[in-house]
């Protein structure tokens, strides 16, 4: 029964984390359109900070803890599908850290990427999620 509760918690926090991974780059697009130093700019800085602090960082931590507990419980480290899943989770984790860094850059007034590039980067979590779900559900190898 513990396994099912761990699994349910893992899926719930993956949903929270993924929502943030989709939402934050969209925030960046709108943030970059706000004039530097404007009240609107300050609102976007605050929104991004709250999204990271209240939702994304806690969700990332819980996803990893519950995911590793599940992996140990089912012996996933010896299964091929899990290695690819783990690789994509590592990619999403690196993306999360990159987003956190870009939020800090935007907060300090540095705007390195165009809205178009940010929109394209927003495809990363969708592609990774598709691969992860296929690995977990289908277990092709």
The binding site for heme comprises 10, 85
Kind plus residue range of the DSSP H or E element containing 4 = helix 2-33
Look at the alpha carbons of 38, 116, 126, 76 in this order and tell me if their dihedral is positive or negative.
Answer: negative
How many other C-beta atoms lie within 10 A of the C-beta of residue 33?
A: 12
Q: Which residues contact 55 (CB under 8 A, 6 or more apart)?
A: 16, 17, 19, 20
Integer distance in angstroms from the first to the last C-alpha of the chain?
27
Torsion of CA 76, 80, 94, 121, to 10 degrees: -130
Residues at the binding site are: 10, 85
């Amino acid at each position: 029964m513990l396994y099912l509760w761990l699994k349910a918690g893992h899926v719930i926090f993956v949903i929270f984390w993924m929502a943030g991974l989709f939402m934050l780059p969209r925030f960046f697009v709108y943030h970059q359109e706000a004039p530097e130093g404007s009240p609107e700019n300050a609102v976007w800085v605050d929104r991004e900070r709250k999204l990271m602090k209240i939702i994304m960082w806690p969700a990332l931590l819980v996803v990893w803890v519950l995911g590793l507990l599940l992996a140990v419980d089912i012996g996933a480290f010896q299964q091929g599908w899990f290695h690819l899943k783990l690789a994509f989770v590592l990619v999403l984790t690196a993306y999360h850290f990159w987003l956190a860094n870009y939020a800090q850059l935007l907060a300090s007034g540095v705007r390195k990427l165009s809205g178009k590039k940010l929109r394209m980067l927003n495809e990363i979590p969708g592609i990774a999620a598709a691969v992860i779900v296929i690995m977990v559900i289908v277990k092709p190898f």
